[in-house]
């Protein structure tokens, strides 16, 4: 990614989202720009117009954390957007070769992690920062049956499934919301790992092959998956409303465990119990076919 272009596009897009009224600035006469003017952002942040203009043109080199935080407040950035701005500033220079080598090398999945996944009574996955599913328990494979249908061998990339698989929109009843959040999460990952060529290749592939991805990528939104809710329309089970939790592995900044669950006694809780039965049936059928 061109870091200067990313900085310029991000700051410009956030400035356009803040109205003078939101910032407490009287709006006089005709305004030729959407949102705030550069001079207004500079005044709100307590920096000179020349300095803010240099920053917005993509030159964040040397910008202190206090200046970045002041700009974040002026632009009314949320916590995720503020962190994104700091990541953009840290990505200005080339990263150490050692850091690049760690990302290029496929992470080792400790046997204990695989045992934990298998022991979980809910759908669970191990995922990297490129949204490659590296390991999954049987319930995880069963929940995401449409994704694994054409890709039985791991890793499977959930971003490619979301944007390139024709079954994805039926699987996600709220596909536009899911897909837009996915784009924003991928943008966050790209800034945290600017020298990851495989990640850049994935973004390039999705940009070329998916018009919705291309459009939402240009919006400059950022998002970090931590927890939330997601709706599924499973081809065998039906509708499921599940909550997800993303658990970071201590000592590894690229691997996370993703789990899905539902409140017991609800229709979705009953659906997960039915999913477990269906998964066991599928495994038995596969065993008989291979035997």
pLDDT tens column, 118-153 = 999 999 999 999 999 999 999 999 999 999 987 778
The dihedrals phi and psi of 144, each to the nearest 5 degrees, come to: -95, 40
State the architecture of 3-90 in CATH terms: Orthogonal Bundle (1.10)
Short-list 154, 159, 91, CA closest to 130: 159
Q: Write down the pLDDT at residue 160.
A: 96
Residue range 56-77: average pLDDT? 93
- Can you tell me the distance from the alpha carbon of 93 to that of 62, in angstroms, rounded to the nearest whole number? 11
- pLDDT > 70: percent of the chain: 89
Cβ contact 38:52 at 8 Å: yes
Short-list 147, 134, 109, CA closest to 252: 109
Cβ contact 36:15 at 8 Å: yes
**What mean pLDDT value characterizes the chain?**
89
Residue range 195-206: average pLDDT? 94
- For residue 189, what are the CA distances in angstroms to 99, 159, 182, 205, 278? 15, 12, 11, 16, 35
pLDDT at 98 over 50: no
Q: Cβ of 248: how many Cβ atoms within 10 Å?
A: 12
The dihedrals phi and psi of 123, each to the nearest 5 degrees, come to: -60, 130
Q: Provide the terminal-to-terminal Cα distance of the chain, rounded to the nearest Å.
A: 49
Quote the pTM value. 0.86
State the architecture of 104-290 in CATH terms: 2-Layer Sandwich (3.30)
- pLDDT > 90: percent of the chain: 69
Same fold, 3-90 and 104-290: no
Q: Write down the pLDDT at residue 137.
A: 94
Domain boundaries, the chain: 3-90, 104-290
């Amino acid at each position: 990614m061109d870091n200067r272009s990313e900085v310029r596009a991000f700051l410009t897009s956030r400035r356009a989202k803040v109205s003078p009224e939101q910032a407490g600035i009287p709006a006089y006469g005709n305004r030729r720009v959407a949102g705030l003017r550069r001079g207004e952002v500079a005044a709100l942040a307590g920096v000179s117009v020349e300095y803010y203009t240099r920053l917005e043109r993509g030159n964040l080199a040397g910008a202190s954390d206090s200046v970045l935080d002041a700009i974040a407040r002026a632009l009314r950035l949320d916590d995720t957007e503020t962190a994104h701005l700091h990541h953009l500033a840290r990505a200005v220079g080339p990263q150490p070769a050692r850091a690049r080598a760690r990302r290029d090398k496929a992470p080792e999945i400790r046997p204990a992690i695989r045992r934990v996944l298998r022991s979980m009574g809910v759908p669970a996955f191990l995922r990297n920062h490129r949204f490659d599913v590296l390991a999954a328990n049987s319930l995880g494979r069963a929940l995401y049956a449409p994704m694994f249908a054409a890709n039985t061998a791991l890793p499977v990339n959930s971003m490619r499934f979301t944007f390139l698989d024709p079954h994805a929109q039926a699987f996600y009843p709220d596909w536009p919301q899911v897909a837009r959040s996915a784009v924003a999460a991928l943008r966050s990952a790209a800034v945290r790992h600017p020298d990851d060529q495989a990640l850049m290749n994935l973004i390039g592939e999705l940009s070329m092959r998916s018009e919705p991805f291309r459009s939402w990528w240009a919006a400059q939104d950022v998002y970090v998956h931590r927890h939330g809710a997601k709706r599924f329309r499973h081809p065998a089970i039906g509708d499921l409303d599940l909550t997800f939790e993303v658990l970071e592995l201590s000592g590894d900044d690229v691997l996370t465990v993703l789990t899905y669950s539902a409140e017991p006694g609800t229709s979705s809780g009953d659906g997960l119990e039915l999913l477990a039965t269906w998964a066991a049936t599928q495994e038995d059928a596969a065993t008989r076919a291979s035997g």
